[in-house]
Chain A
Amino acid sequence: MDFLVSSFAAALHLIGSFSPDVVDAARTSLAVSAGATVFAALFGVPVGLAVGLSGSRWKGFAVTALNTLMAVPTVVVGLFVYGFLSRQGPLGALGLLFTPTAIVIGGTLLASPIVANYTLASVRGADPRILPTALTLGAGRFRAVVTLVGEIRFGVFAAVIAGFGRVVAEVGVAMMLGGNIRGYTRTMTTAIALETSKGEFSFGMALGIVLMTVALIVNLFLSLLQRR
């Protein structure tokens, strides 16, 4: 009990004191997660729509592939991107390893399948009459799909938020590709891992509470955006 009480007290203190380490980590977390979420939405939503609307016989295969990608562990994604970004990899000359950009790349790969899958699910759940109706009413193929997206916008929104959740909560990619550099690539989750490794459990727990608060604020903001 002591542990939990002291964690909570430490969390309140951390939030109240605006410790620069915590502010930096929260900012880095938000920035890389937002960046990765934007890119994941740009890739994932069109892929989800394309697969959902496709009548191809490969559709079943594509769905299985997306489901599998959702289950890929974060460290595997991290390792894969690491292979590309290391100085010995094909993109090594860019010097991107251990930068926030590297985390954004990994996070994008991590979140895209989730966004695509959730989008796909809402396409499947949509009223099947939407597309034909829009087409009969004289909309072009593209205009009809835009109409469909408008109808399933809550599903697409949920897809993007789920993608954000995956990135902001993961530690494998951020640790491997960012390197947990203080004030630069240290995110909330890698900071928690570090504090835990130092045996500072209450401090780690406190950071966890800060992370949840940040996630809560982001989601409140998003749902506000959605409701308006």
Chain B
Amino acid sequence: MRTAARIANNGKGNGKMRRSLRFHGATLVAVLLVMTALPVRAEERLRMSTTTSTENSGLLSVLLPLFEKECGCKVDVIAVGTGKALKLGEAGDVDVVFVHARKLEDKFVANGFGVNRRDVMYNDFVLVGPPGDPAGVGKTQSATEAFRAISAKGSPFISRGDESGTHRKEKEIWASAGIAPKGAWYVEAGQGMGEVLTMATQKRGYALSDRGTYIAFRKKTDLVVLRQGDANLWNPYGIIAVNPAKFPHAKYGLAMKLIAFVTGPEGQALISGYKVGGEQLFFVSGEGKKN
């Protein structure tokens, strides 16, 4: 009956009361913490979905701050694969998309989801593989032949497998080689470019990568470029405003300001001036392609 005694005691004193006050105190502290940490930001926010390569290469952290200062706004970057980035635009969940898959971009515009598509920059895809090059990819004359050689040898090939721009390109090349890749050697990672390069390094396999991510990764991998410079390895990036006629809430004015900035002289100069380890990652139109 100790419990009963305690309850009786508590009836007299007000220990319970104090204790519940303390509980309220903890709640109050938590609420205050939330309120101070999530300030209502007065500035306008522009939402941009983009491919992982623009963000992971570090380009956007050089490009966007200047624009944000000029327009007095914030750009919220959602970095996902090109396929998903376009899907976010189709749902009206973003205001502008910055991606690399020309055919999908044209379809996006044709279906009325986007307007004012502009070329921003380009780089190229490279076929990378282990230094020993077991499939002899270095001796082939085209990317298509290189893919055939990998499949014939059954060397591990790590595919993005995520409907990203790079994955689309890879599927195009398999199709042009007349091969439907299947089997234990064909690894569908379902992850970003960085993870795929890491996986290819660990599994001593081949992978198709955009040059930017590969350069950014070069210190962390022993993979080497084995095939590059083919016309079908060209990788142009485009920016598209989400159609305000379809999504009235989309911040079209701000989106157009961003488009004007990245395609204008200031943005273009920042893009071609951006270097990692002394190497230029992205090129703007009019610049010679380096291979």
Q: A133-B4, A197-B192 are in contact. Are A147 and B16 (CB under 8 A)?
A: yes
Across the interface, do A34 and B30 meet the contact criterion of CB distance under 8 Å? yes
* A203, B78: Cα distance in complex, Å: 21
Nearest-neighbour CB distance to chain A for B121, whole angstroms, equals 20
Q: A31-B33, A87-B91, A228-B22 are in contact. Are A199 and B7 (CB under 8 A)?
A: no
Q: A137-B8, A184-B74 are in contact. Are A197 and B191 (CB under 8 A)?
A: yes
* A123, B225: Cα distance in complex, Å: 64
A residues in contact with B26, CB < 8 Å: 222, 225
Question: What interface size band does chain B fall in?
Answer: 35 or more
The one of A28, A137, A180 that contacts B79, using a Cβ cutoff of 8 Å: A180
* A151, B19: Cα distance in complex, Å: 11
Q: Which of A51-59, A93-101, A114-122, A207-215 forms contacts with chain B?
A: A93-101
The one of A31, A95, A98 that contacts B38, using a Cβ cutoff of 8 Å: A31
A residues in contact with B4, CB < 8 Å: 129, 133, 137
The one of B19, B77, B195 that contacts A181, using a Cβ cutoff of 8 Å: B77
Closest A residue to B36 by beta carbon equals: A31
Nearest-neighbour CB distance to chain B for A106, whole angstroms, equals 15
Across the interface, do A153 and B19 meet the contact criterion of CB distance under 8 Å? yes
Across the interface, do B198 and A88 meet the contact criterion of CB distance under 8 Å? no
Closest B residue to A82 by beta carbon equals: B93
Q: A87-B92, A150-B10 are in contact. Are A197 and B195 (CB under 8 A)?
A: yes
Across the interface, do B194 and A199 meet the contact criterion of CB distance under 8 Å? yes
* A27, B78: Cα distance in complex, Å: 20
Whether a CB of chain A sits under 8 angstroms from the CB of B232 is: no
The one of A31, A88, A134 that contacts B91, using a Cβ cutoff of 8 Å: A88
Q: Which of B19-39 contact A (CB under 8 A)?
A: 19-20, 22-23, 25-27, 30-31, 33-34, 37-38
Whether a CB of chain A sits under 8 angstroms from the CB of B56 is: yes
Question: What interface size band does chain A fall in?
Answer: 35 or more
**B215-243 contact mask (Cβ, 8 Å, vs A): 1 or 0:** 01100110000000000000000000000
Across the interface, do B92 and A179 meet the contact criterion of CB distance under 8 Å? no
Nearest-neighbour CB distance to chain A for B81, whole angstroms, equals 12
Across the interface, do A130 and B198 meet the contact criterion of CB distance under 8 Å? no
B residues in contact with A146, CB < 8 Å: 16, 20
Nearest-neighbour CB distance to chain B for A107, whole angstroms, equals 11
Q: A179-B76, A181-B77 are in contact. Are A134 and B38 (CB under 8 A)?
A: no
A residues in contact with B247, CB < 8 Å: 87
* A199, B221: Cα distance in complex, Å: 9
Total of A-B residue pairs, C-beta within 8 Å: 102
Whether a CB of chain B sits under 8 angstroms from the CB of A38 is: yes
The one of B27, B33, B56 that contacts A198, using a Cβ cutoff of 8 Å: B56
Across the interface, do A88 and B92 meet the contact criterion of CB distance under 8 Å? yes
A residues in contact with B92, CB < 8 Å: 87-88, 92
Whether a CB of chain A sits under 8 angstroms from the CB of B3 is: yes
Q: A98-B93, A181-B76, A197-B194 are in contact. Are A147 and B7 (CB under 8 A)?
A: yes
Interface centre among B3, B7, B25, B191 (most CB of A within 10 A): B7
Across the interface, do B194 and A129 meet the contact criterion of CB distance under 8 Å? no
* A185, B221: Cα distance in complex, Å: 30
Q: Which of B219-276 contact A (CB under 8 A)?
A: 220-221, 247, 249
Whether a CB of chain B sits under 8 angstroms from the CB of A182 is: yes
Closest B residue to A181 by beta carbon equals: B76
Across the interface, do B56 and A197 meet the contact criterion of CB distance under 8 Å? yes
Whether a CB of chain A sits under 8 angstroms from the CB of B197 is: yes
Across the interface, do A98 and B47 meet the contact criterion of CB distance under 8 Å? yes
Across the interface, do A184 and B11 meet the contact criterion of CB distance under 8 Å? no
Closest B residue to A41 by beta carbon equals: B27
Across the interface, do A38 and B31 meet the contact criterion of CB distance under 8 Å? yes
Closest B residue to A199 by beta carbon equals: B220
A residues in contact with B22, CB < 8 Å: 225, 228
Query: What are 14 inter-chain pairs, A to B, with CB distance below 8 A?
Result: A28-B37, A31-B33, A34-B30, A87-B247, A95-B249, A104-B34, A130-B7, A133-B7, A147-B16, A184-B45, A197-B191, A199-B197, A199-B221, A225-B26
* Interface, chain B (partner A; CB < 8 A): 3-4, 7-8, 10-11, 16, 19-20, 22-23, 25-27, 30-31, 33-34, 37-38, 45, 47, 52, 56, 61, 74, 76-79, 91-93, 191-192, 194-195, 197-198, 216-217, 220-221, 247, 249
**Given A35-B31, A41-B27, A180-B78, 7 additional A-B pairs, CB 8 A:** A32-B34, A38-B31, A86-B93, A87-B247, A196-B195, A197-B195, A225-B26
* Interface, chain A (partner B; CB < 8 A): 27-28, 30-32, 34-35, 37-38, 41, 86-88, 92-93, 95, 97-98, 100-101, 104, 127, 129-130, 133-134, 137, 139, 146-147, 150-151, 153, 179-182, 184-185, 196-199, 222, 225, 228
